[in-house]
Structure 1
Amino acid sequence: MVEDQTSGEIRFVAVGQDDPLAAPLLAELATEYADRYGGSTERVARWLRSYPAAEFSAPNGAMLIGLRDEVPVTGGAFRRFDADTAELKRIWTDGNHRRRGHARALLAALESEIAARGYTRIYLTTGDRQPEAEALYLATGYTRLDEPLPAENEVYPVAFVKGLPAGG
């Protein structure tokens, strides 16, 4: 399990969903999603926290926060989708730190951790008003799916998949 992984000037640490280091991630995501898709920031924040924290914890998941000078600048999480597949969630880079490669470094750290857990495939979804996210995922080897992923209570129109080498 990754407790502290360094990528250039970014240091990645594994945290729980309720860790203070995750607070900026969840707060800025709530604001951004409310701005892009409508609704109140408070409602979106409640929705973001509605996932059980255990889903983003070992052994099946994790949340990584990238720190620069001990300040959270990027972060994301994964959880089990099925026995072979992890699902990325909460991919975020602070608005003041974008276009510096932090999101790519985050994806690499998450993918490394996912492979170390024995998963061989990664799914992720995004909304249709996030072209920057779509471009990032395509540029980092993800393939866009023709249909949304099956979900119980939510549907995101844009889904991606990426295979990982077997054996981590």
Structure 2
Amino acid sequence: MQDIKIISARYDEPTVQRLVAENMLDLSERYGGTGDDTPLAAADFVPPNGDFLVAVADGTLIASAGWRRHGDDAELKRMFTVQAARGRGLARRMLAAVETSATAAGCRRVILETGDKQPEAIKLYESAGYTRIPDFGYYQGHDGVLSYAKALPPAA
């Protein structure tokens, strides 16, 4: 894979929103509806209460992952890799970058919601040390929702 940089970006940038729209299309194809209806705002991803990261290759955004503060935790949102870049470890790199950012902000763990129709995401999270927790978020109580968490090391 070409040289890939992971950088912070504004959630409301047009190029970021195009990638988010692709993410929502992917979720819509899996689950129906419009994708993820969780209320989000660009301000959710502004440090120190969040961060939105993108992977850039040859000037093109190919992956995203953000986090927003949820109490003492960092809630993972909008984790996505474009189809052409899948299967090369990029999602794992994005997840690690989120964990690093959240650790630096003093979060104690990363929490997330995913769905049972995303087996590749479930496999990634479990192999990265995430364990099931009680459902907590916007989709709490919905069929097929799976919530996970991973403890973060104390900030240095």
Same fold at TM > 0.5: yes
List aligned pairs for 1:92-103, cutoff 5 A: 92-103=80-91
User: What TM-score does the superposition give when structure 1 sets the normalisation length?
Assistant: 0.83
Query: Which residue is 1:4 aligned to?
Result: none
The residue type equivalent to 2:30 in the other structure is R
What are structure 2's unaligned runs of at least 5 residues? none
Contact 2:26/2:35 (<8 A) preserved: no
Distance across 2 between alignment mates of 1:134 and 1:62: 22
Cα deviation, residue 33, structure 1: 1.2
Where does residue 166 of structure 1 map in the other structure?
A: 154
- Cross-structure match for 1:114: 102
Q: Distance in 1 between matches of 2:155 and 2:90?
A: 26
Q: Does the CA-based 8 Å contact 1:64-1:110 persist in structure 2?
A: yes
| Number of the residue aligned with 2:28 | 34
Aligned residues: 152
* CA RMSD across the alignment: 1.8
The match for 1:69 among 35, 58, 68 is 58
The equivalent residue for 1:78 is 67
TM normalised by structure 2 equals 0.89
For residue 72 of structure 1, report the CA deviation from its aligned partner. 0.7
CA deviation after TM superposition for structure 1 residue 24, in Å? 3.3
User: Residue 148 of structure 1: which of 131, 135, 139 is its match?
Assistant: 135
Structure 1 unaligned segments of length 5 or more: list them: 1-7
- What are the superposed Cα offsets for residues 42-99 of structure 1, whole Å, 9 maximum, x if unpaired? x448x36x412111112200100000112111111100010x2110000000011100
Matched-pair contact (CA < 8 Å) for 1:24–1:72: no
Alignment of 1:117-136 (within 5 A): 117-136=105-124
How far apart are 1:28 and its partner, in Å? 1.2
Shift of 1:20: 2.5
Q: Which residue of 1 aligns with 2:44?
A: 55
Check the 8 A contact 1:21/1:65 in 2, yes or no: no
Match of 2:127 in 1: 139
| 4+ residue runs over 6 A deviation | none
**2:15 maps to 1:21:** yes
Corresponding residue SS for 1:62: strand
**Cα pair 2:52 2:67 within 8 Å, conserved:** yes
Aligned-residue identity in percent:
37
